A and B are shown apart, each in its own frame.
Chain A
C-alpha cells in the first residue's frame, strides 16, 4: 500500500517554544489515520506543520513522494491537502453555497464541480436545505458538516480533520463520524483525524498514533490499540 503523507522527524516551534519533537508518522492511501492525545499534546500543531501554517518546522514532509517541507500553505492546498482546522474555518457571514464554492477555489479540474455539490449535499442533506443561509446561522453540528463539505469540494488527496467532535452533542458526533467513515469507504479519501475523543476515533480509524507532549509514544493498528487494556488505562484515560 502506498503512502499519501510521510512525516519524518518533524519538529515545530511557535517563536522560541518547541511544541513538536521529531514526530514521524505516515498516512496510508485510502486509510483513516487517527492522531490521539490529550490537550496540549501537539495534535493541532502537527496539522499546522503539515500545512506550513503559522508554525516554524524542521524535518521532512512528503506528499505522495514529493517533498513539501518548504511549500507555502496555498500551494499545499493546490496539491490536494484539505484542512478542516480547529474552529472549523467556515466563513460565517457567507452563505453555505459560497463556502462550498470557496472550497473548490484552488481546484485545477473545474469540470466536475457541479457533481461534487450534489455529492456533499448527498452526504449532508441538511446543508442542501440551507444552501442560501449564512453559515453563522447554522447549528454547531451543521457548521462542522459544512467545514467537512467545504474540504471535500477540493477533491482532496488527503483530508486533515482537527477535532470534528469538538463542542458537539454525542449523537451529532456519532452521525458525523459515521459519515466520515462512509466518505472514506465510498470515495477512498485518505484522512488524518486528530481527536481527543479516542473511543470514537478508534472506531473508524485503521491506524492510530498516540501523541504525548509533542512526541509520538505509540502507534499501531487501531483495533489493537482500542482493545489493549494497558494502553487504554495509561493514555486514553479509561
Chain B
C-alpha cells in the first residue's frame, strides 16, 4: 500500500513538470490558437541561459527572475522574426516551422553546450520537506506550478489585456474593430509563454538534469496534459498534468513497465481526441446559426 502511495506522490511530482509545460502551451494557445511544438526546446534554452548565469556566480532568485525576463523577450523575438512572416500561411507550414525551430534549438544547444548532462541547482531547502515521500524540490516545484497557475488564470480572467488576448486569437478582424492591436497581443502571448516555459525548465532541470534533449519526452506528456484538461483552460492543464503524472507512474509500475510509459501519454492523447475533443475540463464552443 505504501508502495502505491509512493508511486502516486512521485507521480504528482513529475506531474508538476508536465503541468507547467502544459500551462505554457495553454498560454500560447489562448493567445494565438496554435500549439507550439517548440515550447519544450524554448524552455530548455532558457534553462541553459540560467545555467550560464549560475556559472557567472549569481544567486538563485536573481538568476530565476533574470531568466524569466530574458525568456519573455526571447519569446517575443521568436514571434517577430520567425512566426510573423508566416502568419496567414497554412497550418501545415506553421507546424513545419515549429518542428524546424525545435530541431534547430536542440542542435544549437548541443553545439554550444555539448550534449553532456549537467546538474542544475534547486532553491528549495529542507524547510520544504513536509513528507518523507517527496523531496523538498518536488514539494517546492508543485507549489511554484500552482502559484504560476493562479497568476495565469488571474491574468486571463481578470485583466483587460488577458481578455483582449483571448479575443485576438478568436477573431482578429473583430478584435481590430474594438481597437485591439492584434499583432502586439500575439507578441505578448509568445513572450508570456516563453516566461512560463522558463519556469518549467528551471523547475524540471534539477530532476531530469540539463541536456539538449531534456524536454523531448516532457513535451509529449505536456501535450497529453493540455489535451486531457482542455487546451483552453489553465486549471484543466494543471489538473491534466497531475493526472498524467500519476497515471504514468502507477501504470508504469503496475501495468506496462517503464519501457512503455511514454505510450500511456500517446494513448491518452488519442483517446481524448476521440472521446472528448474539448478535454475533461475544457469549454466546448457552442455555436448557433
| Range for the number of chain A residues in contact with chain B | 20 to 34
Instruction: Assess the A94–B177 pair: CB atoms within 8 A.
Output: no
Question: Measured between C-beta atoms, what is the minimum distance from B278 to chain A in Å?
Answer: 11
Name the CB-closest residue of B to A73.
B176
Interface membership of chain B positions 159-200, coded 1 if the CB is closer than 8 angstroms to chain A and 0 otherwise: 010011011001101111111110000000000000000000
With contact pairs A105-B180, A136-B285 given, residues A53 and B173 touching in the complex (Cβ less than 8 Å):
yes
Contact of A85 among B160, B170, B173, B179 (CB under 8 A): B173
Q: How far is the CB of B279 from chain A (nearest CB, A)?
A: 14
A77-B163 in contact (CB<8A): no
The closest CB in chain A to the CB of B160 belongs to A105
Q: Is A25 an interface residue (CB 8 A)?
A: no
Chain A residues whose C-beta falls within 8 Å of the C-beta of B160 in the assembled complex = 101, 105
Any B CB within 8 A of the CB of A232: no
Counting contact residues on chain B (CB < 8 A from A), the size range is 20 to 34
B283: nearest chain-A partner, CB-CB: A93
**Are B170 and A93 within 8 A (Cβ)?**
yes
- Which positions 270-289 of chain B face chain A at CB distance < 8 Å? 283, 285-288
| Pairwise interchain contact B179-A90, C-beta atoms closer than 8 A | no
How far in angstroms is the closest Cβ of chain B from A195?
19
User: In this complex, what residue of B is CB-closest to A52?
Assistant: B176
- Taking a contact as CB atoms under 8 Å apart, the answer to whether B163 and A101 are in contact is yes
Nearest chain B residue, comparing its CB with the CB of A143:
B288
Q: Which of B178, B285, B287 contacts A102 (CB 8 A)?
A: B178
| Contact across chains for B286 and A89 when beta carbons are under 8 A apart | no
Q: Is A54 an interface residue (CB 8 A)?
A: yes
A51: interface (CB < 8 Å): yes
> 4 shortest A-B CB distances, which residue pairs?
A106-B179, A77-B179, A89-B174, A93-B285
- 9 A-B contact pairs sorted by A residue (CB < 8 Å): A73-B177, A77-B176, A77-B179, A92-B285, A93-B285, A105-B160, A136-B285, A150-B178, A154-B179
